[in-house]
Amino acid sequence: MNGDEELIRQVVLSTVCKCGTCGRQYDLENVSILGHEEELWFLMVVCNRCNSRGLVAALVKEQKQPAIVTDLNEEELERFKRASTVKPEDVDEMRRFLEQFDGDFASLFSKR
């Protein structure tokens, strides 16, 4: 099974997640691809509890990359693009800080 088929199975499972007969949640291994023609996919789902079978026809269209929605201006976006990545040491340092932090933001920001 290729990556596209695995993704299709996961998407269908997230949409058609319960058996129409007994209500049990389907398992990924019980979602089988029967075939497809361009964007139209046919799958079979089988319930582990009652063994009922269902046919799923899914129209799957490739989606373009969504536009970024942000309240940052162009200058801020450029600054963050150039910023260094967060390293594991940075995360550890923040964790140590938060373990000791008492929640007093007023005092924290008045120190600057």
Cα distance between residue 77 and residue 81, in whole Å: 6
Residue type, 12: V
Q: How many CB atoms lie within 10 A of CB 79?
A: 11
Q: Per-residue pLDDT averaged across 53-71, rounded?
A: 81
Q: Give residue-wise pLDDT tens across range 2-50.
A: 778 888 899 888 888 889 899 999 999 999 999 999 889 999 999 999 9
Pairing label, strands 53-59, 40-46? antiparallel
